[in-house]
Amino acid sequence: LKVIEKVSEMQALADAWREEKQKIGFVPTMGALHEGHLSLIRRARELCDRVVVSIFVNPTQFGPAEDFAKYPRPIEADSEWCRREGVDTLFLPSVEEMYPDGNQTYVQVDGLTERLCGRSRPGHFRGVATIVAKLFLCVKPHVAVFGAKDFQQAAMVRRMVRDLLFDLQIEVAPTVREASGLAISSRNAYLTPEEKISATVLYQSLNLAESLIQSGERSCERIIAAMGSLIDAVDGTRVDYIEIVDEVDLQPVAIVDRRVVIALAVFVGQTRLIDNRVVEGGWRSFPR
Ligand code: AMP
């Protein structure tokens, strides 16, 4: 495992690999690596000759009241994971390296970022789009792998790649979960054992929504209300949002008459968790 901290060194290595016709796979992360990240690394391995993982806790995507300072940074354990997974290069730039002169240039993807997490976290997606674009210019990947857990982020990155004509392919890998159904996240480390049990209600509410749809319910208002009641019944939880949106443009739908994404964000104690599920809608499940 080669650890690179300098942008210029990362770019030179990417150029050398490209010269040798090596296909570069890239997994951007904020570290505190877990099975979710490892699944992305394995996907990149399958698709490419070389795999770069970046760990960068990006200040421009955190709000002033958010957890930038306390975000976990277990760099020794993270490098060990990368070594074991056969990662070629760990790109580990400092904040000064990525933002040498502060920053005056941002990438803003309109439309897709206005609702859902964009509404509760103003400026978040602008920070993500900006850093992802910058990391692409460092690593020069052929393929970049993102997780479906952050489906709005993945949709935004896809759109940015199309709009800015980045010459690379975006791959989205499924959400990895614990046996309880809880989506694995670096932020789960903030949860107490009791909160970790409460947090399974996100997954359970998605199961409830899916089973309602399977039994013929099509009203998003009623589905959302049922999910909200299930979550409110769990002590210490507070719903940030529950939305049912079109899979492509992420605009809310009133009736489940197509493939939709059911997405939610819930505070469990102080920790904000997200999850989502794509559900096949339409009227197909009714007997003809
Ligand atoms: P993060 O380090 O949380 O910024 O996440 C880095 C990448 O890992 C993003 O593309 C996430 O969507 C992805 N990721 C995070 N958690 C999971 C998970 N449980 N399953 C699959 N991918 C994940």
**DSSP labels for 200-245?**
HHHHHHHHHHHHHHHTT--BHHHHHHHHHHHHHTSTTEEEEEEEEE
Mean pLDDT across the chain: 96
Q: How far apart are CA 58 and CA 121, in angstroms?
A: 14
Q: Is 37 in the pocket of ligand 1 (CB under 6 A)?
A: yes
pLDDT digits (tens, 9 = 90+) for 109-138: 999 999 999 999 999 999 999 999 999 999
Question: How far is residue 263's CA from residue 61's CA, in Å, rounded to a whole number?
Answer: 20
CB of 39 shorter than 6 A to ligand 1: yes
Nearest CA to ligand 1 atom 12: 147
The percent of residues in the chain predicted with pLDDT above 70, rounded, is 98
- Whole-angstrom distance, CA of residue 163 vs CA of residue 171: 17
Confidence of residue 288 (pLDDT cuts 50, 70, 90): very low
Answer whether 118 contacts ligand 1 (Cβ < 6 A).
no
Grade residue 284 by pLDDT with cuts at 50, 70 and 90: low
Residue 212 Cα to ligand 1 middle (Å): 28
Ligand 1 in contact with 75 (CB < 6 A)?
Answer: no
pLDDT over threshold 90, residue 287: no
Cβ atoms within 10 Å, residue 101: 6
Pocket test for ligand 1, best of 26, 27, 29, 206 (most atoms within 8 A of CB): 29
C-alpha span between 141 and 14 (Å, rounded): 8
Q: Please tell me if the CB atom of residue 186 comes closer than 6 angstroms to any atom of ligand 1.
A: yes
Phi-psi region of 143 (alpha: psi -120 to 50; beta: other; left: phi over 0): beta
Rounded Cα distance, 178 and 197, in Å: 11
Give 199-216 pLDDT, tens digit per residue.
999 999 999 999 999 999
Nearest-angstrom CA–CA distance, 57 and 80: 18
Mutate to test the pocket of ligand 1, among 34, 37, 90 (most ligand atoms within 8 A of CB): 37
Exactly one of 34, 37, 124, 142 is catalytic; name it: 37
| One-letter identity of residue 184 | I
Residue 283, pLDDT score: 64
- φ, ψ (nearest 5 deg) of residue 71: -55, 135
Q: Residue 281: which pLDDT band, with cuts at 50, 70 and 90?
A: confident
- In this structure, the residue with its CA closest to atom 11 of ligand 1 is 147
Question: What strands lie across the sheet with 143-147, from one edge to the other?
Answer: 2-4, 89-91, 50-55, 24-29, 143-147, 169-173
- The pLDDT value recorded for residue 123 is 96
- Alpha-carbon distance of 175 to 35, in angstroms, equals 10
Q: What is the mean pLDDT of residues 150-170?
A: 98
Q: Does residue 4 have its Cβ closer than 6 Å to ligand 1?
A: no
With pLDDT > 90 as the criterion, what percentage of the chain qualifies? 97
Q: Which of 92, 125, 143, 149 to mutate to test the pocket of ligand 1 (most atoms within 8 A of CB)?
A: 149
Judge contact between 25 and 50, C-beta under 8 A: yes
Ligand 1 atom with least separation from CA of 184: 19
37 is catalytic: yes
Is any atom of ligand 1 closer than 6 Å to the C-beta of 127? Answer: no
Residue nearest to atom 17 of ligand 1 (CA): 36
Please tell me the pTM assigned to this model: 0.97
pLDDT digits (tens, 9 = 90+) for 262-280: 999 999 999 999 999 999 8
Is pLDDT above 80 for 226? yes
Burial class (CB in 10 A: 0-12, 13-18, 19+), 120: middle
Q: Name the percent of the chain in helix, strand, coil, to the closest 5.
A: 40, 20, 35
- Structure confidence by residue, pLDDT tens digits, 51-93: 999 999 999 999 999 999 999 999 999 999 999 999 999 999 9
